[in-house]
Amino acid sequence: MHHRGDPQNGPSLSASSPWEASAPARPPVNWWLRHTSSGWEHSYFGTIAQREQARRSRLASWLILGLFVGVIILSPLALEDARSRATLGVWAVGLLIAAALNRRGWVTLAGVTLILLFSGGILFANLASPIGLTLGELPNFDAYVVSVVVAATLLPRASIFLVAAGNSLLIIGNYELQPHNANIGQDAHLYSSVTVQTVSFLVRPIALQLVLAVVAYLWVRGVEEAIRRADRAEELAILEQREVDRARAEAERTFALEEGVRYMHQILAEWTQGDARHHIPHMPVVSLEQLRVDLNALVTRVTPALRADIQLSRLQAEVTSLSAALEAWVQGGPVIWPAPAGTPLDHVVELLRVAASGRAAGRPSWAPPPSSPWGRSEPGEPPLGPRTRDPQQ
């Protein structure tokens, strides 16, 4: 078996395929994203939907990390309060569930979990008050807007208004169903009626929900359109680059084919001259590689017969040339001896050339054996030369 680089293989071609395009590298991610987000394991040049999903998953992952840091910061304050410890414990478990959902690629479910943690946490903080709903807890209603922001970040756009409406219902239900502290009743004297007081307390957080929902919706729509345009431009750039790479690969493949054919022609020319020492080298093109294997196997099988045929052809040509030279010598004309052709007849030609040179100088240079066709000579007489025709005959 012949290996690339051996002398028997003749000229060598590279075994690698230069037109093979490498796959796009993955974007670098840190340990937190690897364990709490999805989409980073896919190629950067994915579809628009895949990239949008990966972006949302990364946002959810960083948001979960920030909330974990907040829980850790607040944990010393909850050491002496059982209600606070329970609240922080529920938040920690909820964040772990959201991180697991986000890692599985369920970004929407992870976002819903975070919204439930925010809205449910605020509602639980108000309901857990042992003295009822106080004036100091009414500003907690404004904190519901955080869940609207989370919905705008992680959920589809239509869910922003749903979350705002749900928060508004929670605010109204919390105010109407939870017992009020005495300070709220005392504050009612500042209004013309209890209804006016209720409206004044609820209109601000509910209006804040609606206004922020509209602003978040318009903001998210603008961002999505900008991202969509950027993705389309990026896809066009990728397609153009792929076309350039495809054209380059086709040019390199054409060059490899031409080089392979040239190498094959070179080796085949050597084979036709009887030199089968070199085999066709490795080819980087599949079709030429299969042809190379077949031709090498064929020449390995027919090399003895090929050499014998070429040797026979050379011998026949040399015999023909030698016959013409001998005929010219016998007739006394100019003799052109055949050049050495690498056959067993070369030695005979050399001996005849020496004999012809000695005859031209007038001195014997060799003696034919007794059975020589030139005739017998008597003892003491010089050997007879080749018989010539009598000019009178």
Q: Which residue has the higher pLDDT, 46 or 390?
A: 46
Beta carbons within 10 angstroms of residue 142's beta carbon: 14
Same domain, 347 and 201: no
Which among 374, 376, 339, 332 is positioned nearest to 356, based on CA atoms?
332
Cα 333 to Cα 28: distance, rounded to the nearest angstrom: 91
Residue 386 is assigned to a structural domain of this protein: no
First CA to last CA distance, the chain: 67
pLDDT tens digits along 203-250: 889 999 999 999 999 988 888 888 888 878 877 888 888 899 999 988
Most confident of 79-83, 102-106, 192-196: 102-106
Flag whether the pTM goes above 0.75. no
How would DSSP label each residue in 71-109? HHHHGGGGSS-HHHHHHHHHHHHHHHHHHHHHHTT-HHH
**What angle is formed at CA 137 by the lines to CA 199 and CA 140, rounded to 5 degrees?**
80
pLDDT tens digits along 288-309: 777 878 777 777 776 777 677 7
What pLDDT does residue 162 have?
93
What pLDDT does residue 46 have?
60
Q: Per-residue pLDDT for 366 more than 60?
A: no
Domain count, the chain: 2
What pLDDT does residue 390 have?
46
What pLDDT does residue 359 have?
64
**59, two tokens:** 């946002």
**Torsion, Cα of 71, 73, 76, 79 (10° steps):** -10
Q: Which residue has the higher pLDDT, 174 or 358?
A: 174
Asked if 26 and 44 touch (Cβ cutoff 8 Å), the reply is yes
Cα 56 to Cα 303: distance, rounded to the nearest angstrom: 69
Phi, then psi, of 279 in degrees rounded to 5: -110, 160
What pLDDT does residue 165 have?
93
Q: Per-residue pLDDT for 43 more than 70?
A: no
What pLDDT does residue 375 have?
45
How would DSSP label each residue in 320-350? HHHHHHHHHHHTTS---PPPP-SSTHHHHHH
Same domain, 290 and 234: no
Residue with tokens 């014998």: 308
Same domain, 299 and 161: no
User: Which of 39-48, 278-287, 361-370 has the weakest average pLDDT?
Assistant: 361-370
| Helical (H) or strand (E) element with 114 | helix 107-127
Q: Which of 219, 245, 271 is the last residue of a domain?
A: 245
Amino acid identity for residue 180 in this structure: H
- pLDDT band per the 50, 70, 90 thresholds, residue 16: very low
Q: Which of 245, 265, 299 is the last residue of a domain?
A: 245
Residues 6+ apart with CB under 8 A from 182: none
Beta carbons within 10 angstroms of residue 95's beta carbon: 22
Same domain, 45 and 172: yes
Residues paired with 133 in a beta bridge: 180
**What angle is formed at CA 161 by the lines to CA 157 and CA 165, rounded to 5 degrees?**
155
3-state secondary structure 258-301: HHHHHHHHHHHHHHHCCCCCCCCCCCCCHHHHHHHHHHHHHHHH
Same domain, 184 and 321: no
What pLDDT does residue 12 have?
43
For residue 199, CA distances in Å to 163, 186, 240 come to 21, 16, 60
- Ramachandran bin of 349, using left for φ above 0, alpha for ψ from -120 to 50, beta for the remaining angles: alpha
When the pLDDT of each residue in the chain is averaged and rounded to a whole number, the result is 76
Same domain, 194 and 332: no
Same domain, 290 and 241: no
Provide the residue range defining the domain that includes 357. Answer: 286-361
Residue 388 is assigned to a structural domain of this protein: no
Which among 317, 259, 260, 250 is positioned nearest to 287, based on CA atoms?
260
- pLDDT band per the 50, 70, 90 thresholds, residue 163: very high
Same domain, 63 and 169: yes
Q: Which of 245, 270, 294 is the last residue of a domain?
A: 245
What pLDDT does residue 388 have?
44
Counting other chains too, the contacts that 208-211 makes at CB distance below 8 Å and 24 or more residues apart are 208/142, 208/145, 209/144, 209/145, 209/148, 209/164, 209/167, 209/168, 209/171, 210/164, 210/168
**What angle is formed at CA 121 by the lines to CA 117 and CA 125, rounded to 5 degrees?**
175
Beta carbons within 10 angstroms of residue 138's beta carbon: 19
Asked if 385 and 374 touch (Cβ cutoff 8 Å), the reply is yes
Phi, then psi, of 196 in degrees rounded to 5: -65, -40
Amino acid identity for residue 365 in this structure: S
What pLDDT does residue 325 have?
79
Residue 258 is assigned to a structural domain of this protein: no
- pLDDT band per the 50, 70, 90 thresholds, residue 29: low
Question: What's the whole-number mean pLDDT along residues 171-193?
Answer: 83
Residue 21 is assigned to a structural domain of this protein: no
Same domain, 178 and 233: yes
Q: Which residue has the higher pLDDT, 338 or 246?
A: 246
Cα 388 to Cα 365: distance, rounded to the nearest angstrom: 19
